[in-house]
Amino acid sequence: MPGPRDLKSPVQGPRYSGATRRSALGLLLGTPLLSACAGVQQSLSQFSNPFSSSSPPPAQPAGPPQQGTTAGTGGVKVGLILPLSAAGNAGLAAQSMRNAAEMALAEFQNPNIQLLIKDDNGSPQGAQAGAQQAVDEGAEIILGPLFAQSVPAVAQVARTRNISVIAFSTDSSIAGRGVYLLSFLPESDVNRIIEYSASIGKRSVAVLVPDNAYGNVVEAAVKVAVPRRGGRIVAFEKYGADRATPARTVAQALGSADALFIADDGDAVVSVADAMTAAGANLRNIQLLGTGLWDSPRVYANSSLQGGLYAAPDPAGFRAFSGRYRTKYGAEPIRTATLAYDAVALVAALARTQGPTRFSSDVLTNASGFAGIDGLFRFRADGTNERGLAVMKVTTGGGVAVAGSPKSFGA
């Protein structure tokens, strides 16, 4: 088993007692724990797929704010801000993330941290109030919030105390200036799948993306990633409700392409594939490429998408995490629960090993990164993150890895 020096990490890994604790945290050890996309059935559809390209549902009235609570008795105080009293799936998701955070604390041997858990009521105002309470109580770093619109309010409070924020949002535009995103960002998916496509000789890429915020992020990433890997984009189209017209345009260009990249979720990918077929494209004659959104039963069941490749965390780690979560709480975790687990495990490890600089930008942006439930990750100086992802192949039985997650980051 490789040791810390294999990742060139400045942090020595925590020690555990028993098999569960040895497997609980690969962070900083140089042996990443593997994870999954969304292999376990979820009841909270909005949050079960962390790569979702759809817009959030309309806001619902929240319940009364919950009083702050604590978990752990360590000397290093850490704020955790979640929408615990938010209505609908948001509140249920927050509870699952809180459970995961407390599970991380329980599985870490003698953690020297205390979580200051604050309910933001699903609003920026609540998030700002929770952050203020946490820093007033001595928090040295803040984990959360979950929603992008609440992150600037928390960041404003944190900057007055010169402390960092590790938020769970997927909106890269809010990262930076001490705000780091521990989430699943589309850019990592795009970079990994385009890198792999080029490595197997597929460098002429046609691209179809949705005309929404997710599609805009993917567009920016793919237009950088393809030429960086020596490739070219032979056709690029966005689609809204009308998929037929963009599909016809791309279908006409497939003669000069050897890969077709469709970045959307399961239902939409199937619809786009049907539109491409109706436009005369034979999808069996081209390498299909996708993102982590492809981890969907609809994709696996579609005959036109068989053999397609997509980038995602390896499934093993989330399965193991889910098993431990079910044993502890008697329920399934939402997919994003691992973010809260990894965040707490990270700060516990840093609190143990890094002394007064434990949550500084230099420590958080260590280029070798860290390993958690969802594999390798590292924070960039701009606050975004990079993940080490596997490449999965679409089969009728689900996603099958054709290229494993990296064991370390390159320069």
The distance in angstroms from the start CA to the end CA of the chain is: 22
pLDDT in tens, the chain (411 residues): 222 222 233 333 333 333 333 233 344 433 222 222 222 222 233 343 444 544 444 455 677 878 889 999 999 999 999 999 998 999 999 999 999 999 999 999 999 999 999 999 999 999 999 999 999 999 999 999 999 999 999 999 999 999 999 999 999 999 999 999 999 999 999 999 999 999 999 999 999 999 999 999 999 999 999 999 999 999 999 999 999 999 999 999 999 999 999 999 999 999 999 999 999 999 999 999 999 999 999 999 999 999 999 999 988 899 999 999 999 999 999 999 999 999 999 999 999 999 999 999 999 999 999 999 999 999 999 999 999 999 999 999 999 999 999 989 975
Q: What is the value of pTM for the model shown?
A: 0.84
Q: Which two tokens stand for residue 291?
A: 């993102």
Distance CA 118, CA 145 (A): 10
Distance CA 45, CA 250 (A): 31
pLDDT at position 63: 76
- Look up residue 45 and give its amino acid: S
For residue 104, give the H/E element and its range.
Answer: helix 88-107
Q: Which two tokens stand for residue 276?
A: 């491409």
pLDDT at position 68: 86
CB 234 within 8 A of CB 286: no
* Extended strands (E) in 306-367: 309-312
Residue 159 has φ and ψ, to the nearest 5°, of -70, -30
Q: What is the 8-class DSSP label of residue 176?
A: B
Angle between helices 316-329 and 337-353 (to 10 degrees): 90
Sheet holding 69-71: strands in order across? 69-71, 113-119, 76-82, 141-143, 164-167, 179-181
User: 186-312+392-403: CATH homologous superfamily?
Assistant: Response regulator (3.40.50.2300)
Q: Is 220 helix (H, G, I), strand (E, B) or coil?
A: helix
Domain with CATH 3.40.50.2300 in the chain: 4-54+64-185+315-389, 186-312+392-403
Q: Show Cβ contacts of residue 228 under 8 Å, excluding neighbours closer than 6 positions.
A: none
pLDDT at position 297: 95
User: 4-54+64-185+315-389: CATH homologous superfamily?
Assistant: Response regulator (3.40.50.2300)
